[in-house]
Homo-oligomer: A and B are copies of this chain.
């Protein structure tokens, strides 16, 4: 886990923001040379692979300023300070989709951009979905469309690049592999 470790010599904080920070570290390489690393700090996030009782995958469409377009993603959200990731996941599921889950199971955690960012996403499978009485609860400045699609429709969205982010691409492949069978409404976890 520490193979080829790069030791920090100096660390300069460039920016501290609402969501991300930026620092530039000078590091010593295994051969004694030095180099610079531009590093983004992010609080981490959760994402959810959630099938409705009808066996459809829940997706959300939203505008992503970084890409200057809207894309279709699995439900996700940033971890707030002090939150357990599983709590964040349950909260995001309810707020963003209007569904509650009997339980969540961690499927995989991964770094999104290990070359420059420390963001880690925890991907949960949501078991036993039910519509909540309140429905989705969005912030007044949050603009999100809810979609429920078959795995085949999600695969087509990947081909069309309407699904266009790594966590959702992973989720579509994972859901396809873990559907108990083609007519099933449940994931095999």
Contacts and interface: CB of A to CB of B under 8 A. Distances in A.
A1 B71 CA distance: 7
Contacts of A33: 140-141
B42 A112 contact: no
A132 interface: no
A102 to B, nearest CB: 24
Contacts of A3: 61, 63, 70, 145
State the number of copies, please. 2
Interface of A is mostly: mixed
Interface stretch (A91-99, A167-175, A181-189): A167-175
A2 B70 contact: yes
A70 to B, nearest CB: 4
B109 A112 contact: no
Contact of A20 (B40, B121, B174, B177): B40
B38 A18 contact: yes
Contact of A115 (B64, B109, B144, B174): B64
Given A70-B3, A110-B169, A158-B108, A39 B65 contact: yes
B114 A73 contact: yes
A34 to B, nearest CB: 9
B36 A18 contact: yes
A14 interface: yes
A1 B6 CA distance: 41
Interface of A: 1-6, 14-15, 17-20, 22, 24-25, 27, 29-31, 33, 35-40, 42, 45, 61-67, 69-71, 73, 78, 108-119, 121, 140-141, 143-145, 158, 161, 164-170, 173-174, 176-177
Given A29-B141, A114-B164, 15 more contacts: A4-B145, A14-B14, A15-B15, A27-B65, A29-B143, A66-B113, A66-B118, A108-B169, A110-B165, A111-B165, A111-B166, A112-B113, A121-B166, A170-B170, A170-B173
